[in-house]
Chain A
Amino acid sequence: MYFHSVTLDRDRCKGCTNCIKRCPTEAIRVRDGKAKIIKEKCIDCGECVRVCPYHAKVVVTDDIGMMENYKYRIALPAPSLYGQFKDMTIGDILASLQSCGFDEVFEVAYAADIVSYITRNIVKAKDYKRPIISSACPAIVRLIQQRFPSLMDNILDIMPPVEVAGKIARDEAKKKTGLKDEEIGVFFVSPCAAKVTSVKNPIGIEKSYIDGVFSMRDVYSMILDKRKFAEKKIEHTSSMIGVGWANAGGESYGTSLENCLFVDGIQNVIGVLEDIELGKLDDIDFFEGLACVGGCVGGPLTVANNFIARNRIMKLKEKLNKDVSVKKYIAVDFHEFMLNVKLKKSDVLNLDEDIDKAIDMMKSIDEIYKSLPGLDCGSCGSPGCRALAEDVVKGFASEYDCIFKLKDRIKILAEEINKLSIKIPPVIGSDKEVKP
Chain B
Amino acid sequence: MKPYTMDFDVKARDFSSAGESSSKFRKTLLMLSIPSDIVRRASIAAYEAEMNIVIHSYGGKMHFEIYKDKIVIVAEDTGPGIKDLELAMKEGYSTAPKEVIEMGFGAGMGLPNMKRNADTMEIVNHDESGTKIVMTINF
Which of A's residues lie within 8 Å of B, judged by CB? 147, 149-150, 274, 277-279, 345, 347, 349-356, 358-359, 362-363
Contact of B31 among A150, A274, A279, A350 (CB under 8 A): A350
Q: How far is the CB of B105 from chain A (nearest CB, A)?
A: 10
B38-46, B55-63, B76-84, B130-138 - the one binding chain A: B38-46
Q: How far is the CA of A349 from the CA of B27 in the complex (A)?
A: 9
Closest to B113 in A: A279
Chain B residues 8-57 with CB under 8 Å of chain A are 22-23, 26, 28, 30-34, 36-37, 39-40, 43-44, 47
B1 lies within 8 A of chain A by Cβ: yes
> Once the chains bind, are B32 and A278 in contact (CB under 8 Å)?
no
B66 lies within 8 A of chain A by Cβ: yes
> Once the chains bind, are A355 and B32 in contact (CB under 8 Å)?
yes
> Do A150 and B39 form a contact, CB below 8 Å, given A279-B44, A279-B113, A355-B68?
yes
B97 lies within 8 A of chain A by Cβ: no
Q: How far is the CA of A278 from the CA of B44 in the complex (A)?
A: 5
Closest to A354 in B: B33
B3 lies within 8 A of chain A by Cβ: yes
Q: How far is the CA of A350 from the CA of B30 in the complex (A)?
A: 6
Contact of B4 among A274, A345, A359 (CB under 8 A): A359
Interface centre among B32, B34, B43, by most chain A C-beta atoms within 10 angstroms, is: B32
12 contacts between A and B (CB under 8 A): A147-B30, A150-B37, A345-B36, A347-B33, A350-B30, A351-B31, A353-B33, A355-B33, A358-B32, A359-B1, A359-B3, A362-B4
> Once the chains bind, are B34 and A355 in contact (CB under 8 Å)?
yes
Closest 9 CB pairs of A and B: A149-B36, A150-B40, A150-B36, A359-B4, A350-B33, A358-B32, A355-B68, A349-B30, A278-B47
Closest to A351 in B: B31
Q: How far is the CA of A274 from the CA of B43 in the complex (A)?
A: 9
Give every chain A residue within 8 A of B22 (Cβ-Cβ): 278
Q: How far is the CA of A278 from the CA of B28 in the complex (A)?
A: 16
Give every chain B residue within 8 A of A274 (Cβ-Cβ): 23, 26
Q: How far is the CA of A353 from the CA of B47 in the complex (A)?
A: 26
Closest to A363 in B: B4
Closest to B4 in A: A359
Give every chain B residue within 8 A of A362 (Cβ-Cβ): 4, 28, 31-32
> Once the chains bind, are A349 and B34 in contact (CB under 8 Å)?
no
> Do A359 and B66 form a contact, CB below 8 Å, given A349-B31, A350-B31?
yes
Give every chain A residue within 8 A of B3 (Cβ-Cβ): 359
Closest to B47 in A: A278
> Once the chains bind, are A277 and B34 in contact (CB under 8 Å)?
no
Chain B residues 75-117 with CB under 8 Å of chain A are 113
Q: How far is the CA of A358 from the CA of B4 in the complex (A)?
A: 10
Give every chain A residue within 8 A of B32 (Cβ-Cβ): 350-351, 355, 358-359, 362
> Once the chains bind, are B43 and A351 in contact (CB under 8 Å)?
no
Q: How far is the CA of A345 from the CA of B34 in the complex (A)?
A: 12
Interface centre among A351, A355, A362, by most chain B C-beta atoms within 10 angstroms, is: A355
Q: How far is the CA of A358 from the CA of B26 in the complex (A)?
A: 15
Give every chain B residue within 8 A of A150 (Cβ-Cβ): 36-37, 39-40
> Once the chains bind, are A278 and B31 in contact (CB under 8 Å)?
no
Give every chain B residue within 8 A of A359 (Cβ-Cβ): 1, 3-4, 32, 66, 68
Q: How far is the CA of A224 from the CA of B119 in the complex (A)?
A: 64
Q: How far is the CA of A353 from the CA of B33 in the complex (A)?
A: 6
Q: How far is the CA of A345 from the CA of B39 in the complex (A)?
A: 13
> Once the chains bind, are B68 and A278 in contact (CB under 8 Å)?
no
> Once the chains bind, are B40 and A277 in contact (CB under 8 Å)?
yes
Give every chain A residue within 8 A of B39 (Cβ-Cβ): 149-150
Q: How far is the CA of A353 from the CA of B40 in the complex (A)?
A: 18
> Once the chains bind, are B33 and A351 in contact (CB under 8 Å)?
yes
Give every chain A residue within 8 A of B43 (Cβ-Cβ): 277-278
Q: How far is the CA of A53 from the CA of B117 in the complex (A)?
A: 46
Give every chain B residue within 8 A of A350 (Cβ-Cβ): 30-33
Give every chain A residue within 8 A of B4 (Cβ-Cβ): 359, 362-363
Q: How far is the CB of B99 from chain A (nearest CB, A)?
A: 19
Give every chain A residue within 8 A of B66 (Cβ-Cβ): 359
Give every chain B residue within 8 A of A349 (Cβ-Cβ): 30-31
With A147-B30, A277-B44, A349-B31 known, 17 other A-B pairs at CB within 8 A are A149-B36, A274-B26, A277-B43, A278-B43, A278-B44, A278-B47, A347-B33, A350-B30, A351-B32, A352-B33, A354-B33, A355-B68, A358-B32, A358-B33, A359-B4, A362-B31, A363-B4
